[in-house]
């Protein structure tokens, strides 16, 4: 249906546009404050609201949460208007853009540009995955701020006195719009900017202007809070928050998260990896966090430190396992197969690798076969042929 509209140049233009959008939403540059503030006025106007009396900038979303927590009825911030500013406006055009997007990919495939557009869509989707992870982490941390006992007691007293509720009932997610939501507007922006389909999506123009120039928005009737972008935002090729030598996420207000392949880890595990020992690993109850600590320590050091059982050894490699229990009850295990690269290095040595495998593996051959998606019998057959 869109073949006539999407020639080769048009699909390449789309790829470039989404690349630029993904880059903007992974940016750690300082916010373009005038651009974001103009976006606030456009967003309020599109929702049929008067612009806020004040726009307050914060150095991160957790600083906004602290602002919300310290607000009183005298501050006259008004009711939260996220539903009017974002939810209701986006829902009006959401189905339209989704249908259009599917048609674009189909048309690009017919024109032989499917792989090119597919790669770009993959990068765009990874960007959205990273921002969704940021959203989850920020929501949890902000909710911790807003659920503090002293804060809840103060607001309960206000309600007893008949004063309006200021803290959000459903948590920070109900009042804030973050990069995970703003970053999903790239298709709408393309429709507006590149294809001049302005009428159906023009109501979102203010929001994507904010998304391209700031980090978070918490809109109220009379006061609108905006947050700076992060100063650090690192992810791996799979779109998971990850940084081996520092915070994966950090905002100018100092709030930060350390992550290893998408798993939040203690700061010390990244900043002082030498402090990870078999004892600290055994003292960690969360099996996912244990596995991350082993990876940071490196499986080779973990195995050589002792306490890991050699389960099986054959010509394919060595199968290692470590199990943990508490009062006779298993609390998880770690298994890896040690293999040697058949291709020698220039100095004649061979690289050794440790590959994580499920704990149920019984032999090294079975474990190596599993890494190829084969049974041990299938792998043995394949080995005989080669």
- Average pLDDT value for residue range 255-284: 95
Last residue within a domain, chosen from 307, 322, 349? 307
Confidence of residue 235 (pLDDT cuts 50, 70, 90): very high
Low-confidence winner among 51-55, 179-183, 313-317 (lowest mean pLDDT): 179-183
Same domain, 105 and 116: yes
Whether 270 is covered by a domain: the verdict is: yes
Whether 79 is covered by a domain: the verdict is: yes
Low-confidence winner among 9-18, 38-47, 266-275 (lowest mean pLDDT): 9-18
Q: Is the pLDDT of residue 163 over 50?
A: no
Same domain, 183 and 36: yes
Same domain, 47 and 175: yes
Question: Pick from 116, 102, 112: which is nearest to 187 by CA?
Answer: 102
Whether 2 is covered by a domain: the verdict is: no
Alpha-carbon Rg for the chain, nearest whole angstrom, is: 26
Whether 221 is covered by a domain: the verdict is: yes
pLDDT of residue 20: 79
Residue 342 is classified by DSSP as: S
pLDDT of residue 337: 95
Query: How many Cβ atoms sit within 10 Å of the Cβ of residue 121?
Result: 19
Whether 65 is covered by a domain: the verdict is: yes
Same domain, 40 and 54: yes
pLDDT of residue 304: 92
Whether 1 is covered by a domain: the verdict is: no
- Average pLDDT value for residue range 379-386: 67
Residue 165 is classified by DSSP as: P
- Average pLDDT value for residue range 365-381: 88
Residue 348 vs residue 222, higher pLDDT: 222
Are 272 and 261 spatial neighbours (Cβ–Cβ below 8 Å)?
no
Same domain, 261 and 190: no
Last residue within a domain, chosen from 307, 340, 357? 307
Confidence of residue 258 (pLDDT cuts 50, 70, 90): very high
- Average pLDDT value for residue range 204-223: 91
Same domain, 198 and 313: no
Whether 187 is covered by a domain: the verdict is: yes
Alpha helices in the chain (DSSP H): 8-24, 33-46, 61-70, 82, 88-110, 114-146, 149-160, 179-182, 186-193, 198-201, 205-211, 267-271, 278-282, 287-297, 299-304, 364-371, 376-385
> Which residues span the domain enclosing 375?
308-386
Whether 3 is covered by a domain: the verdict is: no
What's the pTM?
A: 0.84
Total domains, the chain: 3
Q: Is the pLDDT of residue 28 over 80?
A: yes
Are 243 and 258 spatial neighbours (Cβ–Cβ below 8 Å)?
yes
The model's pLDDT over 32-63, given as tens digits with 9 standing for 90+, comes to: 999 999 999 999 999 999 999 999 999 999 99
Same domain, 274 and 192: no
- Dist. CA 253–CA 61, nearest whole Å: 9
pLDDT of residue 10: 63
- Dist. CA 368–CA 361, nearest whole Å: 10
Confidence of residue 97 (pLDDT cuts 50, 70, 90): low
Same domain, 183 and 326: no
Same domain, 302 and 312: no
Same domain, 141 and 206: yes
Last residue within a domain, chosen from 290, 307, 324? 307
Same domain, 299 and 316: no
Q: Which residues pair with 260 in a beta bridge?
A: 263
Same domain, 189 and 274: no
């Amino acid at each position: 249906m869109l073949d006539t509209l999407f020639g080769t140049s048009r699909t390449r233009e789309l790829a470039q546009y989404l690349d630029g959008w993904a880059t903007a939403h992974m940016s750690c540059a300082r916010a373009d404050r005038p651009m974001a503030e103009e976006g606030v006025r456009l967003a309020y106007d599109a929702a049929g609201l008067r612009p806020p009396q004040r726009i307050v900038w914060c150095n991160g979303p957790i600083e906004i949460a602290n602002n919300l927590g310290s607000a009183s009825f005298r501050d006259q911030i008004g009711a939260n208007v996220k539903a009017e500013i974002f939810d209701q406006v986006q829902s009006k055009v959401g189905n339209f853009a989704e249908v259009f997007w599917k048609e674009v990919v189909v048309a690009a495939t017919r024109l032989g540009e499917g792989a090119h557009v597919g790669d770009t869509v993959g990068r765009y989707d990874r960007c959205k995955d990273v921002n969704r992870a940021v959203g989850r982490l920020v929501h949890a941390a902000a909710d911790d701020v807003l659920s503090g006992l002293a804060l809840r007691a103060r607001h309960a007293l206000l309600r007893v006195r008949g004063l309006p509720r200021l803290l959000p009932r459903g948590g920070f997610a109900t009042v804030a719009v973050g990069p995970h939501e703003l970053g999903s507007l790239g298709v709408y922006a393309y429709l507006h900017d590149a294809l001049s389909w302005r009428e159906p999506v023009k109501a979102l123009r203010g929001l994507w202007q904010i998304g391209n120039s700031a980090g978070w928005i918490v809109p109220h009737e009379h006061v609108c809070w905006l947050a700076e972008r992060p100063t650090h935002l690192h992810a791996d090729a799979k779109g998971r928050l990850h940084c081996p030598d520092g915070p994966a996420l950090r905002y100018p207000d100092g709030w930060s998260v350390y992550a290893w392949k998408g798993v939040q880890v203690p700061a010390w595990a990244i900043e002082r990896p030498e402090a990870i020992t078999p004892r600290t690993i055994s003292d960690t109850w969360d099996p996912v966090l244990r596995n991350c600590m082993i990876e940071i320590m490196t499986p080779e050091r973990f195995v050589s430190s002792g306490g890991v059982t050699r389960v099986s050894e054959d010509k394919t490699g060595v199968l290692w396992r470590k199990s943990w229990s508490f009062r006779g009850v298993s609390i998880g295990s770690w298994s890896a197969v040690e293999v040697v690269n058949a291709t020698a290095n220039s100095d004649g040595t061979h690289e050794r690798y440790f590959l994580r495998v499920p704990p149920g593996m019984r032999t090294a051959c079975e474990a190596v076969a599993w890494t190829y998606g084969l049974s041990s019998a299938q792998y043995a057959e394949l080995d005989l042929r080669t």
